[in-house]
Amino acid sequence: MTTLIPYVAGILCLLGAFFVLVAAIGLIRLDDLYMRMHAASKAGTVGVGGLFAALALYFGEADVAWRALAGFVFFLLTAPVSAHLLAKAAYTVGYKPCAQTKHDALSRRDSQEYTPT
């Protein structure tokens, strides 16, 4: 069983690196800010989760596993929230979605004047 752990950790590491690569390609290839943030926050979070799981499994110590879990939970809570806040701020200052966007949920708010508090 212990001889299998490095291989499973390696597979998790490759899987995490694949998702991080997909996020990086999404940042380069996608059309507008909102699509790029979606790729970075979703695929990046899954990729980092795989890397943290590989780290915890490979070392096999409880303190390393707890730190990896804490790092993943922190990343899971902060990456989507920060992407949402950045997208909201970009939309507020006037950065409109590209033509491929099918539904703009914030467009009905355009008639309301935004006043920061």
Residue pLDDT, tens place only, 48-95: 999 999 999 999 899 999 999 999 999 999 988 898 899 889 888 888
Statement: residue 106 has pLDDT above 90? no
Please indicate whether residue 114 or residue 59 has the higher confidence score (pLDDT). 59
Residue 73 located in a structural domain: yes
Number of domains in the chain: 1
Residue 60 located in a structural domain: yes
- Domain span at residue 49 reads 5-93
Task: Return the pLDDT at 112.
Answer: 55
Residue 107 located in a structural domain: no
CATH (domain of 28): 1.10.287
Residue 116 located in a structural domain: no
User: Hey, what's the torsion of the CAs at 101, 78, 43, 10, to 10 degrees?
Assistant: 180
Statement: residue 15 has pLDDT above 70? yes
Residue 10 located in a structural domain: yes
49-78 CB burial, b ≥16 within 10 A, e <16: bbbbbbbbbbeeeeeebeebeebbeeeeee
